[in-house]
Amino acid sequence: MLLKTETYKQQSSIAQYCRDGKEVAILNAKPERLPHYRRLVFNVVKDALETTYPISHKYIDSEVWKEIVFNFFSEHKCKDPQVWRMPFEFYEFCKTKNYDEKYDLPFLNNLLYFEWVEVELYMMEDISLPQFLYSDNWLQKRIAVNPEHKIIKLEYPVHMEKPFDTVNKKGDYFLLLYREKETGRIQFTNLSILFTFLLENIVSAEKTLEEIFNDILYIFGINHLEMLQNESFKFLNDLKTRGFVLGVYKK
Amino acid sequence: MKNDKKRNFIKGALVAGALLSVTALSATPNSSNLFDYSALGSGAEVRSEILNSEANPFNAFEAKCGEKSAEKKVEGKSTEAKCGEGKCGEGKCGEGDKKAAATKTDAKATDVKATEAKTTEAKCGEGKCGEGEKTDKKSAKAKEEKK
């Protein structure tokens, strides 16, 4: 429904006032009451961010955190009407503003992303499981996995350590997150680069496990196929008991 | 040349950069054991592991389990969150001064919210409101986590 120009103007004025606190003339509004609107709206934003990013909120200096949140509140015009998605815009805002450099928090983008991904995955629409079979013969088949998952790469191990302990540990870290079908809980698994490669290829469902093993032998320069198979089967069986690996594709 | 050949094999976008970089595997902290992996647990467990240095949110929560008022406090929070933004904001009314004088217990209670109820509260987005089945799943999950 289109708003009348005047209504739109009034709404925009109060929205702008809520953001930056600069006095505005709003029709029939009592100036002494306006600050309460601003405080209430700000608290919604602040609360949503602190809930989504509890680790960031806890470890980042409270003054810095306050400043970042306030900058976001006053400068960023949220695009998504869904409040739960607002923290993602906060993450993007921080990235755009290079706050990791500005506040000397090299892990910041990783930490915010790591915390956000859980919410995103938890909230994602249900995806129906692929048609699969339970089979003991995995080698010549394509492995089916829980589609409600995400594999992410991080530069700092913020998923395993306190943020400031990760500063000197820049590298390549891989993390599997998946949503348990029964409980809806998000499970986290830290992966080696080899297992990340294995899972990414399994997820793409283009190759049989045997073909993927052959690629791994070549790419990682491994000479022992048997060891590769044993270790990988151990890993995949463990993921099966945890509800990530389902079985093999029917076709 | 060798890298080009390898590139054809590397389907995964995530590992490609790491594998093709000059330093390749030797630069990868995880490469000490290519077959390493560790199940870190659920989101609440991962958070508690990282947050637990000063206060273990689970302990704080459990310690208060028997106290009706504490339990109500946690539930009240999520109920408010589900009601919509207005309530959330009101919930915070007047907390400005209280926060400064927050006791250790308060801090723990905040942690409980931060770890346990994170996703539950996140669920309060309008997008999912009214989805009966999903809501049931959520509350079942929340209950399970509380246990």
A158, A185, A219 member nearest B9 (Cβ): A219
**pTM of the complete model beyond 0.90:** no
**Number of Cβ pairs < 8 A linking chain A and chain B:** 197
Cβ-based neighbours of B91, under 8 Å, separated by 6 or more: A43, A47, B77, B80
Contact B12 A200 (CB under 8 A): yes
The packing angle between helices A108-123 and A34-52, to 10°, is 90
Contact B29 A172 (CB under 8 A): yes
Residue A132: strand pairing partners:
A249
Contact B9 A84 (CB under 8 A): no
CB A196 within 8 A of CB A151: yes
Residue A154: strand pairing partners:
A173
Q: B137 contacts in A (CB within 8 Å)?
A: 184
Confidence of residue A41 (pLDDT cuts 50, 70, 90): very high
Q: What is the pLDDT of residue A71?
A: 95
> Scanning the structure block, which residue is given the tokens 């022992």?
A224
**Which of B10, B83, B119, B144 should we substitute to test contact with A (largest number of A Cβ atoms within 10 Å)?**
B119
Residue A247: strand pairing partners:
A144
**Which of B5, B6, B88, B98 should we substitute to test contact with A (largest number of A Cβ atoms within 10 Å)?**
B88
Nearest in space to A151 (alpha carbons), one of A170, A133, A172, A166? A172
- The mean pLDDT of A65-82, rounded to a whole number, is 93
Say if residue B99's pLDDT is above 70. Answer: no
**Domain annotation for chain A: domains and CATH numbers:** 2-105 (no CATH), 132-249 (3.90.930)
B104–chain A nearest CA distance, Å = 14
Q: What is the pLDDT of residue B92?
A: 42
Q: How far apart are CA A248 and CA A173, in angstroms?
A: 28
Confidence of residue B53 (pLDDT cuts 50, 70, 90): low
Q: Which of A10-19, A107-116, B133-142 has the lowest mean pLDDT?
A: B133-142
What is the per-residue pLDDT across A144-197, written as a single tens digit (0 to 9) for each? Answer: 999 999 999 999 999 999 999 999 999 999 999 999 998 999 999 999 999 999
CB B6 within 8 A of CB B16: no
Say if residue A52's pLDDT is above 90. Answer: yes
Contact A219 B88 (CB under 8 A): no
The b-or-e profile of A163-187 (16+ CB within 10 A means b, else e) is beebeeeeebbbbbbbbbeeebbbb
Q: A204 contacts in B (CB within 8 Å)?
A: 11-12
B17, B40, B125 member nearest A190 (Cβ): B40
Q: B35 contacts in A (CB within 8 Å)?
A: 192, 194-195, 231-232, 235
What is the per-residue pLDDT across A234-245, written as a single tens digit (0 to 9) for each? Answer: 999 999 999 999
CB B28 within 8 A of CB A223: no
A137–chain B nearest CA distance, Å = 21
Q: How far apart are CA B46 and CA B33, in angstroms?
A: 22
- The mean pLDDT of A41-65, rounded to a whole number, is 96
Report the mean per-residue pLDDT for chain A. 93
What is the per-residue pLDDT across A97-108, written as a single tens digit (0 to 9) for each? Answer: 999 999 999 999
B54–chain A nearest CA distance, Å = 11
- The mean pLDDT of B18-38, rounded to a whole number, is 63
Contact A162 B34 (CB under 8 A): no
List the single residue in B with minimal CA-CA distance to A38: B89
Of A112 and B60, the structure prediction assigns the larger pLDDT to A112
B92, B125, B145 member nearest A123 (Cβ): B125
DSSP secondary structure string for all residues of A147-205: SSEEEEEESS-TTTS-GGGGTT--S-EEEEEEE-TTT--EEEEEE-HHHHHHHHHHHHT
List strand residue ranges (DSSP E) for chain A, in order. 132-133, 143-145, 149-154, 173-179, 186-191, 245-249
Say if residue A88's pLDDT is above 90. Answer: yes
Contact B33 A192 (CB under 8 A): yes
CA B140 to chain centre: 17
Question: Identity (one letter) of the amino acid at B12?
Answer: G
Q: What is the pLDDT of residue A74?
A: 92
The DSSP symbol for A145 reads E
Q: What is the pLDDT of residue A186?
A: 97
B15–chain A nearest CA distance, Å = 6
CB B128 within 8 A of CB B134: yes
Q: What is the pLDDT of residue A2?
A: 79
Q: What is the pLDDT of residue A110?
A: 98
Of B20 and A170, the structure prediction assigns the larger pLDDT to A170
What is the per-residue pLDDT across A194-215, written as a single tens digit (0 to 9) for each? Answer: 999 999 999 999 999 999 999 9
- The mean pLDDT of A36-50, rounded to a whole number, is 94
Nearest in space to A2 (alpha carbons), one of B11, A11, B22, B19? A11
